[in-house]
Amino acid sequence: MNQSGTLLLNRHDVAALLGIEECMTAVEGAFKLHAEGKTLPPGIMGMHARDGGFHIKAGLLELSRSYFAAKVNANFPQNSKRFGLPLIQGVIVLCDGENGRPLAVMDSMEITIIRTGAATGVAAKYLARADSTTVTICGCGNQGRISLRAIAKVRDLKKAYAFDTDQKQAEQFRREVSEELQIEIHPVTKLGDVIRQSDICVTCTPSREYFLKRDYVACGTFIAAVGADSEDKQELDPTLLSASKVVVDLLEQCATIGELHHALDNGLLSKAQVHAELGEVIAGRKSGRTSADEIIVFDSTGTALQDVASAVIVYERAVAANRGVKIDFAT
């Protein structure tokens, strides 16, 4: 493919070019580079709208060459009911980090879903008990699906519980994912008992008040808290964080928009009490799980470094496959 111009890639292109396994490898590498001080701090900006909001995440990584990416995402929770549109919509602009040339503009929705699930899988690899077999997924949409697929890459899963405020969604999740992953999936309407029976719990909902209570969680559980990516979202009881080992994707970001910020605001935890960023665990600078009894919470707000690493895979594969449409914005 001619290297001049900018490559345009839609959601179908992205889905065809990016798989969960290679995304997990790329995301793990990006976290490690950050922990080793080999990346610039990624940037984030958010803006509220009447019925939702927008955020911009930007980062730069030195990979096969220097790459910069900026993602503009819109998040409107009522979109499906009101307009028949997705909850999350947006684009990623990928540029050459050495000369600034726009290399690609691609749909961000699929990348956001996959790279978020990839971070959950990587965190489970380092923080969940090695003998974990049972998972509860809270939120049975696209993010719940990719989270379970990612965890299945690193743990020998036998059973999953599916919880959603929409019972039809949980039933559809069971039908589709149980056959794909060859594990038992049981839709549930109440969380307390199934969380206590689970080794791993993933929360990936748009909730604005916590539903995962401290007394639901047994010793040894790993929790990936994915839904809170703005200051008004919350899934976990703040006392659960104060009773757990807390690992974050980015400390300052989680302190502002993640589950961590609710614990900080309630005076239940300080930033100094956060055990580690995930990259520090990957790089061996901080410990991961040190006891079978530890409750470990991974506060996942989603980082621009994940977006860059994922967008690069999509772009390089698209070039190799001669996929997408070229446009020259400069003419």
Give, rounded to a whole angstrom, the gap between the first and last alpha carbons of the chain.
Answer: 19
Question: Which domains are present in the chain?
Answer: 6-112+305-327 (3.30.1780.10), 123-302 (3.40.50.720)
**What is this structure's pTM?**
0.95
| Separation between Cα atoms, residue 143 and residue 153, nearest integer Å | 16
**pLDDT given at position 2:** 44
Give the mean pLDDT of 215-244.
Answer: 96
Residue 78: pLDDT above 90? no
Residue of 146, 305, 310, 151 lying closest to 223 (CA atoms): 151
Query: What's the pLDDT tens digit per position in 262-285?
Result: 999 999 999 999 999 999 999 999
The beta-strand segments (E) located in the chain are: 6-9, 43-49, 52-62, 66-75, 88-96, 102-107, 134-138, 159-163, 184-188, 200-203, 208-212, 222-225, 234-236, 245-248, 276-277, 296-299, 325-327
Give the mean pLDDT of 89-98.
Answer: 97
Among 71, 125, 233, 245, the one annotated catalytic? 71
Looking at the chain, the whole-number percentage of residues with pLDDT higher than 70 is 99
| Separation between Cα atoms, residue 297 and residue 315, nearest integer Å | 33
Give the mean pLDDT of 48-63.
Answer: 94
Please give the structure tokens belonging to residue 262: 């609710």
Phi-psi region of 32 (alpha: psi -120 to 50; beta: other; left: phi over 0): alpha
The answer to whether 159 is a known catalytic residue is: no
